[in-house]
Structure 1
Amino acid sequence: MSQHALATATRPGRPRVIPRLAGARAPRDEILHAAADLFVNRGFAATSTRDIAEKVGIRQASLYYHFAGKPGILAELLELSVRPSLEKVEKIERDCPADVPEAALYLLALIDAGTLATVPHNIGRLYRMPDVRSSEVFGEFEPALQELTAAYGRLGADIVSGPVAATVSVDQLGGLLVQAVEVVIRIRSRRVEVTPAQARAIAATCLRICGVPEARIARATGTADDLLLRFAEERPA
């Protein structure tokens, strides 16, 4: 987590300007959702903490109870766009059967596409925005993005065909695969929902970029489905 994130204090916050409805998100999550909406649609630099507090319906001082300021909020939102995928890389590499190596890349792409399809307010757009990319927070976040790109390149290099390997380096391959998955961001920018079928098609496209034959892609999808089920069963209650 970024150094900008502030741990929750033990003292009570100030009263809300607008009472929170029963069943509503926790205040911290409400702040993140409101900030995501404003950052994506208005811009990071153009959004103030007062804007965020007003959108949530709390006093500005209450926002500072949960976050030190805008940088901490941005850092957490950026993490949400990559961390779920990164946390699965080691498990994918460990559990993927050696005789179906294509399943590892397919599964990473599928999980990553699912993450980008479900994060609030299409926050994957944030790290393409100039005011975000020029921020100190992005500099702290960029290694995580590079780590994810490297994982794509590593898994792609394990299955790439000879002609593709002769054309692009491992680093370039990782970048190409990331770009293929990030089409989810562009789809959501048109206010269109990304369906599970589309996420699977995107994951299969990653294998095609590597030159994987269709028969191997079909086998990889079945293996990946089995691994996803196992992941779900192993999730703590």
Structure 2
Amino acid sequence: MSSAPSSVGRPRSGARRLPSASAREEILDAAAELFAQRGYAATSTRLIAERVGIRQASLYYHFRTKEQILAELLEATVRPSLTHAESLGDLDAARALESLVRFDVGVLLTARWNIGILYALPEIATEPFARFRRERGELRAVYRRLAGSPTPGDLVFGLVESVIGMRRDVPDLPPAESLQATVAAATTRIIEATSMI
């Protein structure tokens, strides 16, 4: 009679961060927390591994570099909104823009960690982040198309992303639903104002 296979690898050095998550998801969560709180440069892969309770070698099984971890985290801040934008095909531009604004603000405000604060890092201009830059550019292009021209689209895109700074700087931030409605209403005013110019 054969016994059950033993688990592979060393046991974790503590309780799991997210009990129902995979090791990869736990690494991403720990990295997002550390990047958002300590900064990207001040966070090593060793520190991420320690936060998860695994050895650094185990982290490298899932991610070859710290850049790969950050790239995946950043892409996760824009990809859901791109997917949502693709589902808006039957709506007129104004309603589609409002829906996208509400959805995108929700993504940025309700993520467990405020990873959007890393958008301005100089490292983001390098090759490991090309996919993130491309996808963020695609999202900006959707805003421009729905707004009717580049300038109002860029204004709305910037307004949406301004919630990243608010999340960092405003201790008594209103609930996500309230900010979603406020940014959507401001979007309507921006489009109306720029159409009169």
TM-score, structure 1 normalization: 0.71
Task: State how far apart, in whole Å, the 2-side matches of 1:192 and 1:70 are.
Answer: 32
Structure 1 counterpart of 2:113, from 106, 117, 121: 121
Task: State how far apart, in whole Å, the 2-side matches of 1:144 and 1:64 are.
Answer: 26
Post-superposition Cα deviations, 1:124-178, rounded to whole Å, max 9, x if no partner, equal 1111223x32433233311111100010010010xxxxxxxxxxxx222222111
Q: Which consecutive residues of structure 2, in runs of 5 or more, have no partner in the other structure?
A: 1-6
Task: Tell me if structure 1 keeps the 8 A contact 2:81–2:104.
Answer: yes
Q: Measured at CA, do residues 65 and 40 of structure 1 come closer, stay the same or move farther in structure 2, by a change above 3 Å?
A: same
Structure 2 counterpart of 1:86, from 82, 98, 105: 82
Give the aligned partner of residue 178 of structure 1: 157
Task: State how far apart, in whole Å, the 2-side matches of 1:88 and 1:134 are.
Answer: 26
Q: Which consecutive residues of structure 1, in runs of 5 or more, have no partner in the other structure?
A: 1-10, 158-169, 213-237
Give the aligned partner of residue 52 of structure 1: 48
Mapping for residues 68-217 of structure 1, pairs under 5 Å: 68-92=64-88, 94-96=89-91, 98=92, 101-130=93-122, 132-157=123-148, 170-190=149-169, 191-193=171-173, 194-211=175-192
Give the aligned partner of residue 4 of structure 1: none
Q: What is the identity percentage for the equivalent residue pairs of Structure 1 and Structure 2?
A: 46
In the TM superposition, residue 34 of structure 1 has moved relative to its aligned partner by 1.0
What amino acid is the match of 1:115?
Answer: V
TM-score, structure 2 normalization: 0.84
Count of residues in Structure 1 that have an aligned counterpart in Structure 2: 185
Task: State how far apart, in whole Å, the 2-side matches of 1:39 and 1:135 are.
Answer: 18
RMSD: 2.1
What amino acid is the match of 1:109?
Answer: V
Post-superposition Cα deviations, 1:42-90, rounded to whole Å, max 9, x if no partner, equal 2222211001011111111111122122122111101111000001112
What amino acid is the match of 1:55?
Answer: R
